[in-house]
Amino acid sequence: MSTNKVEPQRAEVTPNRPQSSTCLCVINSNLVTETLWHFLEISTFSVPPPCWLLLFSCLFFISYLSVTFLRKEEGTPGPRPLPLLGNLLQIDLKRPYKTLYELSKTYGSVFTVYLGTNKVVVLAGYEAVREALVNYAEEFGEILCFVGILFANGESWKELRRFALTTLKDFGMVIEEHKGMIFFLCINFTGNAFDTALPINYATANIISSIVYGTRFDYGDPVFKRMVKRANQSICVTGSASVQVGSKHSVKKNRTEDIKNLTKHLKDTLEPGLCRGLVDCFLIRKQKEEVRQYENLTFTVSNLFAAGTDTTAATLRWGLLLMAKYPHIQGPRGAEPVVGSRQVCVDDRKNLPYTDAVIHETQRLANIVPMSLPHQTSQDVTFKGYFIKKSISPWFPTGNYCVSLLTSVLYDESEWESPRTFNPSHFLDKNGQFVKRDAFMPFSAGRRMCLGEGLAKMELFLFFTSLIQRFRFTPPPGITEDELDLTPAVGFTTLLHLICCVRFKGNDCSAVSDKLEI
């Protein structure tokens, strides 16, 4: 029976990651801390005290000037920044998107906030965000620059994105994973309260493994367990103060070591003409073209794991929380797929408009990537009457970049009838048929739009329907539906810590493995 049984406890969604607000803010506030710290270290040992004070005053003065001058020059509205700290004291660092959304109500669809001395232009509301990302794709369509797909620009990004899209298409149909997840839930947790994070993260990580390495792992495999744990840890601590100052290297090293070991094994066993997964395709292609950039492979794999595991898993967990909170939506008259006892398949989606609407509404309300990825402006641009300068790297004290506030799109009061409530009717017409909504933009828009959208949608549909077809999700014992809290904890994505109770609808768990052909 269950080895992973957890004590029933209050299913509150607690902010369980106190130091990790989004990367965005912490990187900047930590940049200030780190620079000051570094400065103090140097000063303490090599500069006499009066010079130290003088230097400190100069730094302070320069930052103040840069902040005030930049504001005057560009004239976008926004709250008044403090020297060095900018608007950090006004922003809820655990949920910065909430503050930014509130500020957008005062300052409109284009405004500026300062995170430390870095200037961030915030684009808010469906109309402004879409216009910037789609109509001004050239100017706003670059991601803040590092390497890999997520953070690359220019030719290197184009090549990697094209390559990943082609390979994701080839392997995206490897979606048998829900069988493994259902079996795991059934055997280990049925009738118990359990944390949904573990099985769901295993399932989504295994999908990326199948695509990337060409193989799935057993949930009990110690290497796999370690990999998932490390991936989660690095998502949790990305941007945390301690990581920025000290242990950043060790987290990255842990993560890339696993990837390097696995890719080395694939390289050693590579058979030309047999492409087991994305890594093989990359190796074969690069061999042919004799191109450098081997390092990009590690980054690409690491990016796909980071982008493709946590996001889909968090959305699914939101779905289960919402089902536990609104039990009437779970049943056969609600989202449960009415397809008999057979396995749901992708083609069923068009015949299940209500289920489809529930999944879309879950994504809208969950608002998983509330501030998208930070973008840079590739050139000076005048947007909605405001002059926005070409971006300077945020590693400089006067750095500047842009944030597309997806929260403000998904909760846009002029687009959604009841933006703050879980209302699947947002996606249904009066005949109960599914309708697409333009302001449904959890994957962002434009040329940097999520590369895994198709895969994520397929995963969400198959996992969600398979789960509610076979299980009933309820709050843990002693907790009422009303007490289930929908306040998210924030890491890079809006996560939650959900303990929920699961009941298998059938009589015999062991029959599941035969039915699912595991």
Tell me if 150 contacts ligand HEM by CB under 6 A. yes
Residue number, 161 or 230, with CB nearest to ligand HEM: 161
* HSE value, Cβ hemisphere, 13 Å, CA-based, for 339: 21
Round to whole Å and give the CA distance between 259 and 227.
Answer: 9
- Are 166 and 455 a contacting pair, CB within 8 Å? no
Which residues lie below 8 Å from residue 220, measured CB to CB, with a gap of 6+? none
Out of 59, 435, 449, 516, name the contact with ligand HEM by CB under 6 A.
449
CA distances for 118 relative to 31, 68, 134, 307, 393, angstroms? 10, 12, 25, 25, 9
Out of 184, 401, 416, 443, name the contact with ligand HEM by CB under 6 A.
443
Which residues lie below 8 Å from residue 135, measured CB to CB, with a gap of 6+? none
Nearest-approach distance from CB 310 to ligand HEM, in angstroms: 9
Nearest-approach distance from CB 268 to ligand HEM, in angstroms: 26
- Kindly report the number of other CB atoms within 10 A of residue 61's CB atom: 11
Out of 86, 308, 319, 419, name the contact with ligand HEM by CB under 6 A.
308
Residue number, 112 or 312, with CB nearest to ligand HEM: 312
Out of 67, 186, 262, 307, name the contact with ligand HEM by CB under 6 A.
307
Residue number, 419 or 452, with CB nearest to ligand HEM: 452
Tell me if 149 contacts ligand HEM by CB under 6 A. yes
* Site map 340..379 versus ligand HEM, x via CB under 6 A: ----------------------------xx--xx------
Tell me if 303 contacts ligand HEM by CB under 6 A. yes
Nearest-approach distance from CB 167 to ligand HEM, in angstroms: 10
Round to whole Å and give the CA distance between 358 and 319.
Answer: 8
Residue number, 148 or 419, with CB nearest to ligand HEM: 148
- Binding site residues, as ranges? 450
Tell me if 144 contacts ligand HEM by CB under 6 A. no
Give the H/E segment covering residue 471.
Answer: strand 471-474
For the range 152-155, what are the long-range contacts, defined as Cβ-Cβ under 8 Å and sequence gap of 24 or more?
153/378
> By Cβ distance, which residue is nearest to ligand HEM?
452
Out of 99, 118, 206, 312, name the contact with ligand HEM by CB under 6 A.
312
- Kindly report the number of other CB atoms within 10 A of residue 360's CB atom: 22
Residue number, 94 or 360, with CB nearest to ligand HEM: 360
Out of 167, 240, 311, 391, name the contact with ligand HEM by CB under 6 A.
311
Nearest-approach distance from CB 211 to ligand HEM, in angstroms: 7
17, 3, 1: which is closest to 493 by C-alpha?
17
- Strand ranges in 164-321 using DSSP code E only, listed in sequence order: 193-195
Out of 94, 364, 448, 470, name the contact with ligand HEM by CB under 6 A.
448
Out of 315, 408, 469, 474, name the contact with ligand HEM by CB under 6 A.
315
Out of 442, 475, 476, 488, name the contact with ligand HEM by CB under 6 A.
442
Residue number, 63 or 372, with CB nearest to ligand HEM: 372
Which segments of 278-333 does DSSP mark as H helices, in order?
278-289, 294-325, 327-330
Nearest-approach distance from CB 66 to ligand HEM, in angstroms: 27
Q: What is the DSSP string of 377-446?
A: -SS-EEETTEEEPPPB-TTSTT-EEEEEEHHHHHT-TTT-SSTTS--GGGGB-TTS-B---TT--TT--G
Q: φ, ψ for residue 111 (rounded to 5)?
A: -150, 170
Round to whole Å and give the CA distance between 400 and 398.
Answer: 7
Residue number, 117 or 363, with CB nearest to ligand HEM: 363
Residue 150 in tokens: 């997520």
Round to whole Å and give the CA distance between 204 and 155.
Answer: 30
Residue 8 in tokens: 């029933």
Nearest-approach distance from CB 161 to ligand HEM, in angstroms: 5
Residue 239 in tokens: 């941007």
- Binding site residues for heme, as ranges? 450
Residue 482 in tokens: 């009303």
Nearest-approach distance from CB 384 to ligand HEM, in angstroms: 19
Residue number, 112 or 363, with CB nearest to ligand HEM: 363
Q: Which residues bind ligand HEM (CB under 6 A)?
A: 143, 149-150, 161, 168, 303-304, 307-308, 311-312, 315, 368-369, 372-373, 442-444, 448-452, 455-456
